[in-house]
Copies of this chain bind each other. A is one copy, B any other.
Amino acid sequence: MLHYEIVKQAEDSSARLGQLQLVHHLVDTPVFMPVGTQATVKALSSEDLYEIGAGIILSNTYHLYLRPGVDLIEKAGGLHGFMNWQRGILTDSGGFQVFSLSKLRQIRDDGVYFNSHIDGSRHFLTPETVMEIQQKLGADIAMCFDECSPYPCSYQEAARAVERTTQWAERCRNAHNRRDQALFGIIQGSVFPDLRETSARGLTALEFPGYAVGGLSVGEPKADMYAMLDLLDTMLPRDKPRYLMGVGAPEDLLEGVRRGIDMFDCVLPTRLARHGSAYTHEGRITVRNAGFADDFRPIDAECGCWVCRNYSRAYIRHLIKAGEILAHRLLTYHNVYFLTKLMEEVRAAIAQDAFMVYYNGFMAKYKF
Kindly identify, within residues 296 to 330 of chain A, every residue whose CB is under 8 Å from any CB belonging to chain B. Answer: 296, 306, 310-312, 314-315, 318-319, 321-322, 324-326, 328-330
Whether A76 is near chain B, meaning CB under 8 Å from some CB there, is yes
Which one, B42, B75, B293, B322, contacts A325 given CB within 8 A? B42
A68 at the interface (CB under 8 A from B): yes
Residue ID in chain B nearest A68 by CB atoms? B318
Q: Indicate whether A45 reaches chain B with its CB closer than 8 angstroms.
A: yes
Q: In the complex, what residues of B have CB within 8 A of residue A46's CB?
A: 310
Q: Is A82's CB under 8 angstroms from B314's CB?
A: yes
Cβ contacts A18-51/B at 8 Å (1 or 0 each):
0000000000000000000011101111110000
| B-chain residues with CB within 8 Å of residue A82 when the two chains form the complex | 312, 314-315, 318
Cβ of A239 within 8 Å of any chain B Cβ, yes or no, is no
In the complex, which residues of chain B have a beta carbon less than 8 angstroms from the beta carbon of A322? 38, 40, 63, 67-68
Interface pair A326/B67, CB less than 8 Å apart: no
Taken together as a complex, chains A and B put the C-alpha atoms of A30 and B85 apart, in Å, by 37
Nearest B residue to A296, CB-CB: B76
Given contacts A40-B319, A293-B68, A319-B40, contact A76 B312 (CB under 8 A): yes
CA of A121 to CA of B39, assembled, Å: 43
Known A-B contacts A310-B84, A318-B38, A321-B67; A326 and B45 likewise in contact (beta carbons under 8 Å): yes
CA gap between A312 and B72 in the complex, in Å: 12
- Is A83 interfacial (CB-CB < 8 Å)? yes
Q: Is the CB of A294 closer than 8 A to any CB of chain B?
A: yes
Assuming the contacts A38-B322, A67-B322, A318-B67, asked whether A47 and B84 have C-beta atoms less than 8 A apart, the reply is no
Beyond A38-B319, A82-B315, 15 additional pairs, beta carbon < 8 A: A40-B322, A42-B325, A43-B329, A45-B310, A45-B326, A47-B310, A63-B322, A67-B318, A68-B293, A72-B293, A72-B318, A75-B294, A76-B296, A76-B315, A325-B328
Q: Top 5 nearest A-B pairs by Cβ distance?
A: A38-B322, A68-B318, A325-B325, A40-B326, A84-B310
